[in-house]
Chains A and B, each alone.
Chain A
Amino acid sequence: GQQVMQIPQYQHVQEGEDFTTYCNSSTTLSNIQWYKQRPGGHPVFLIQLVKSGEVKKQKRLTFQFGEAKKNSSLHITATQTTDVGTYFCAGGGYNKLIFGAGTRLAVHP
C-alpha cells in the first residue's frame, strides 16, 4: 500500500538555526499536507500543496512539493522556541490521508 516516509525522526537545533524535514511517498500524491503537533496537543493543519513544483511560504516556513509529486519539504528559517513540536506530512487521497511518522523538533534557547 501507499507509504509516506519522513526524515529525520528527530532534530534539535539552537534557536536561530534553520530546520528542514523531508517527506517521500512511494506513489504519486494528489496533494500533500503539513501538520504541526505541539507536545501534549493535537495535530493542527498548516498548509496544503497541490501543484507539481509548488512552493508556499508562511512567514519563516517554506513548503515545497516536488516536480514528480512524490516528495515534499518543510524548511523553517531562524527557528524560535515556539517552533517546538512534531511536524507531520500527509499524502492526500480523496477521502483519507496517509501520515508520515513525523519529525520532532527541539529548539534550545
Chain B
Amino acid sequence: NAGVTQTPKFQVLKTGQSMTLQCAQDMNHNSMYWYRQDPGMGLRLIYYSASEGTTDKGEVPNGYNVSRLNKREFSLRLESAAPSQTSVYFCASSELRTETYNEQFFGPGTRLTVL
C-alpha cells in the first residue's frame, strides 16, 4: 500500500497563477484533510472532508477551495496564488473507528513557493 500520496512534490508559482494540489489515499479512509505548515506555526487545518461528498472549512480556508472527488481523492486548489501562500502543504487521512480515535496518516507534502 502506498498510503497517502501527493503531487506535485515541489512547485513554484508566480503571484496570480492558479494550481491544484492532488492527494490520494488507498487505505479506504472516510476522512481527509489539508494542512499547511509554516515555520514555528505547526500544522494549520485548511479544509477537511469528513466523508465522501462533504467538505468543511478549517482554521485558514481563505484563498483555497477543495474537491472531494471520490473516497480516495481530495484536491486543494489555489485560484490566485499569493506570496502568503508559500508553505508546505500536507494531505492526511483517517478512519474514525470510534468517536475519539482518529489517528491521521500524512502524505509526503508539497513544497510551494509563490513569487
Contacts and interface: CB of A to CB of B under 8 A. Distances in A.
Interface of A: 1, 6, 9, 30-31, 33, 41-45, 48, 50, 88, 90, 92, 94-102
B interface, size bucket: 20 to 34
B42 A95 contact: no
Interface in B59-115: 59, 90, 92, 96, 99-109
B110 to A, nearest CB: 11
13 contacts: A31-B101, A31-B102, A33-B104, A45-B103, A88-B42, A92-B102, A94-B100, A95-B48, A95-B56, A96-B45, A96-B48, A99-B35, A101-B40
Given A95-B50, A97-B102, A42 B108 contact: yes
Contacts of A99: 35, 42-44
Contacts of B41: 101
A100 B103 CA distance: 16
A1 B60 CA distance: 13
Nearest to B41: A101
Given A95-B31, A99-B44, 10 more contacts: A33-B104, A42-B90, A42-B108, A45-B104, A45-B105, A92-B100, A95-B102, A97-B104, A98-B59, A102-B42
A96 B96 CA distance: 10
A50 B102 CA distance: 11
Contacts of B109: 42
